[in-house]
Amino acid sequence: MSPRAQAASGAPGGGPGSNGLEQLLAAKEIAVFCGSGGVGKTSVAAASALGAVSRLGGKVLVLTIDPARRLATALGLDGVGNLARRVPADLLKAAGVDDRGELYAAMLDTKQSWDELVMRHAPDEETAYRILENRLYANLTARFVQSHDYIAMERLYELHQSGEYDLIIVDTPPTRNAADFLEAPKRMADFFGGRLLRWLTLPYRVGGRRGSRVLNVASRPFYQVADRVLGSQFLEDIAEFFLNFQSMYDGFSARAKAVERLLHDRRTTFAVVTTLEAAPLHEAENFCERLDAGRFHLGALVLNRTLPDSLLSPEGDRAASRFSDDAPAVAAQLARLVGSEHASLNDEVRTARVLRTVGESFHNFSLVAKREAELRAELTRRPEVVARVPSFDDEITDLTGLMRVGRALFGDEP
Amino acid sequence: MGPAPEILGRRLLFFTGKGGVGKSTMAAATAMLAADRGRRVLLVDVDGKGDLATLFEHTPVGFRPVQVHPGVLAMSMDTEASLQEYLRLNLKVPVLGRLGPLARVLDFVATAAPGVKEILTIGKICWEVREAIAGRADFDLVVVDASASGHVVAQLGAPAAIQELVDVGPVRSQTDWLVELLSDPEITGVNVVTTPEEMPVAETIELVARLRAEVSTPLATVIVNRVLPELFTVADEETFTAMREPAVTAALTEISGPGTTAVLDGARLAVSLRRTGATHLTELREKVDLPLLYVPYLFARVQGRRVLRMVADALGEELGL
């Protein structure tokens, strides 16, 4: 049995502390990582991909949206557009990744993806270019934030269709609402199939190709107001754009529906990433609810950058109190015990100051750790896999760091 | 260090930054700080979830301003309500009632032409500021919890973008005063909130550059949130390093009990987290030519008004108040 099949069949693949993430990824073809901004989603997605390659082998692709520069460099993504690039095998080897599979990385270029989509679905080249050159189109693709939502899912669909990868891991775009992209394909399909679009473009469709209006239609209240508010040229631009865009309707809406089906497919799972802070956690819980309500598969919850449990230990608390409350006495005893070998510890005033600082710092961080533990206890929705990744001393900026994240993520370390 | 930046004397303050850095907290704390000093504040939640009020332990608010704290009114932006208000005030169209579902029309137009929702947002804000300046409002300062980095440029740039797109009509003629108000450093200031982490700092540097290049709205400050304290001086750190030598840790454990290792590990984590943050702060200082305000990481167990008070005090201190 291949490692992939073995893990999927439930045979023990990971270490003793394995938390089921490995089995989950082995059984799926797509894993979508989502969560609110600033929770370390990109690193967690990349670490999962690296872990999957190392543990399961096969061809794994991580599709990332906006990685930090050093992480992009680590994945070999410098200046890469839409193309998937293979992460060099020697880099993986150097980071201690088992030589089982191939890791690919791709970044999302929104503008390029839209252009490709238009070229594919336009009825002819002329229409395609008319759309690409429309000033509203430039606006739509370059400045319209939400277009990220749809295009990321569209791109995912295409990569999955290519059949080249055993597993695709997706880092979702930062949206105002972490769950917006779930509905993006449906919104897109509704939009192009909508009555509103037909209604709004009516005077132009009746009046012929470019804007010669039929007065009795254009004199309806809506057009009057729209003209007065926006100026007629503007409305004409919109109409022309959408008339052209509508020519792509069939291809486009079929595609949006296919994308939606893929997100609901049993081969797709979702992983929600959050830190144990009130706001991101609240958003994560909302997101879990949306996934459940929309009948998506919620496979994992990743608690990222948590403080170590040692901050909660009563013994630590006692020692810290001793440090901060009894600093001079502790300093004096320490000098007596080890002062002869460690000259710096003979400065009892300084030692006492350091002890106090260390003790206070422990109490400070312990307070935060308690808050985290409370929030963790209040979690209402616990999917099959709940992974916890600690706050590391150093930032994760290279493959070795991602492997460290991976060990915690896959539950190798208790 | 130069003199403390003066931001509370203005009329319109925006707070933006990468998602998750605490810009809502900074906007709310600034509102509280200003109210403490006798200003009457309108606090606007642009992303419209209404959650901003919960920072004051108040239930979520809607489009109509509600007092959430003495001297602080809060409202949540709603572009449809804003459009209705605009049409009512400016057009006096008799057929308004027959317009049909405004929300759907608005969605359509906004999807077609980004800039429409943005202008409704920014237009409403500026209108309130103009009312405040004229003394016709219940407040004299507008504090905006604005959208995150990418989107705020589109919002602040919306009036100018509309000028380009729309050639005639009342919208066009309205944009001139908006641009003027948004460009006046006596009136308006943008504050970028960040944390001492890689991505937020990178995004702040980029955002500051974009705002300078693409819009005329003056930048006021960069607020660095969640700054960890420096634990040790160089000499003290030597002592700490000595404590972590196995023999010394063993001796300390003998004195203070078995929790000693956990305590020393905790301090080591604190030191390295602080150190990582410091490298990002250095980069920020080198690349951003704006006054930086530092708000310490709050080791608090709770949220709400008390935390807001702590942040407001920290901001006040940074502003030399």
Nearest CA in chain B to A373: B301
Tell me which amino acid residue B268 is.
R
Please answer yes or no on whether B273 and A393 come within 8 Å at the CB atom: yes
CB of B147 less than 8 A from some CB of A: yes
pLDDT band at B310 (very low <50, low <70, confident <90, very high): very high
CB pairs under 8 A between A and B: 226
User: B227-263: per-residue pLDDT in tens?
Assistant: 999 999 999 999 999 999 999 999 999 999 999 999 9
Interface test with B, best of A36, A111, A204, A344 (most B CBs within 10 A): A344
CB of B238 less than 8 A from some CB of A: yes
pLDDT band at B138 (very low <50, low <70, confident <90, very high): very high
DSSP A152-216: HHHHHHHHHHTT--SEEEEEPP--SSTTHHHHHHHHHHHHHH-HHHHHHTHHHHHH-SSS---HH
CB of B200 less than 8 A from some CB of A: yes
Distance CA(B158)–CA(B122), nearest Å, equals 8
User: How far is A238 from chain B, CA to nearest CA, in Å?
Assistant: 6
Q: Which domains occur in chain B, in start order?
A: 12-228+284-318 (3.40.50.300)
pLDDT of residue A217: 47
Do A71 and A42 touch, CB atoms closer than 8 A?
yes
- The chain-wide mean pLDDT, for chain B, equals 87
Distance CA(B170)–CA(A230), nearest Å, equals 8
Distance CA(A323)–CA(B30), nearest Å, equals 37
Q: Which carries the bigger pLDDT value, residue A3 or residue B87?
A: B87
Do B274 and A318 touch, CB atoms closer than 8 A?
no
Distance CA(A146)–CA(A181), nearest Å, equals 8
Q: What are phi and psi of A364, to 5 degrees?
A: -60, -55
Residue B248: which of A68, A338, A368 has the nearest Cβ? A338
User: B29-73: per-residue pLDDT in tens?
Assistant: 999 999 999 999 999 999 866 678 989 999 999 999 999 999 999
Helices (H), A265-388: 278-293, 314-325, 327-338, 348-377
Closest alpha carbon to B269 in B228, B236, B213: B228
Helix (H) or strand (E) holding B42: strand B41-45
Residue B257: CA count within 13 A, CB half-sphere: 14
Distance CA(A391)–CA(A304), nearest Å, equals 7
pLDDT of residue A91: 87
Q: What is the largest CA-CA distance in chain A?
A: 101
Residue B100: which of A222, A317, A362 has the nearest Cβ? A222
Please answer yes or no on whether B248 and A345 come within 8 Å at the CB atom: yes
Cβ contacts of A189 on chain B, cutoff 8 Å:
none
Q: Which carries the bigger pLDDT value, residue B284 or residue A277?
A: B284
pLDDT of residue A214: 41
Average pLDDT for runs of 10 along chain A of length 414: 55 60 96 87 92 94 78 72 83 85 87 83 87 72 58 86 95 68 70 62 53 45 59 64 72 81 94 90 89 93 94 97 97 95 93 97 95 90 92 81 92 78
Interface test with B, best of A136, A143, A177, A199 (most B CBs within 10 A): A143
Interface test with B, best of A187, A358, A364, A370 (most B CBs within 10 A): A358
User: How far is B145 from chain A, CA to nearest CA, in Å?
Assistant: 13
Which residues does B141 contact at the CB level (< 8 Å), separation at least 6?
B8, B10, B11, B12, B13, B34, B39, B40, B41, B42, B132
Closest alpha carbon to B111 in A136, A223, A256, A176: A136
User: B174-211: per-residue pLDDT in tens?
Assistant: 788 899 999 999 999 999 999 998 888 988 999 999 99
Question: What would you report as the CA-atom Rg of chain B, rounded to the nearest whole angstrom?
Answer: 23
Closest alpha carbon to B206 in B170, B265, B152: B152
Cβ contacts of B170 on chain A, cutoff 8 Å:
228-229
This prediction's pTM: 0.83
Distance CA(B43)–CA(B35), nearest Å, equals 11
CB of B242 less than 8 A from some CB of A: yes
Interface test with A, best of B151, B164, B239, B272 (most A CBs within 10 A): B239
Cβ contacts of B52 on chain A, cutoff 8 Å:
none
Nearest CA in chain A to B153: A143
**Residues above pLDDT 90, as percent of chain B:** 64
CB of B57 less than 8 A from some CB of A: no
Helix (H) or strand (E) holding A23: helix A21-27
Q: How many other C-beta atoms lie within 10 A of the C-beta of residue A125?
A: 9
CB of B307 less than 8 A from some CB of A: no
Q: Which carries the bigger pLDDT value, residue B154 or residue B143?
A: B143
Q: What are phi and psi of A209, to 5 degrees?
A: -55, -60
ipTM: 0.85
Nearest CA in chain B to A390: B269
User: How far is B182 from chain A, CA to nearest CA, in Å?
Assistant: 20
Closest alpha carbon to A112 in A78, A86, A83: A83
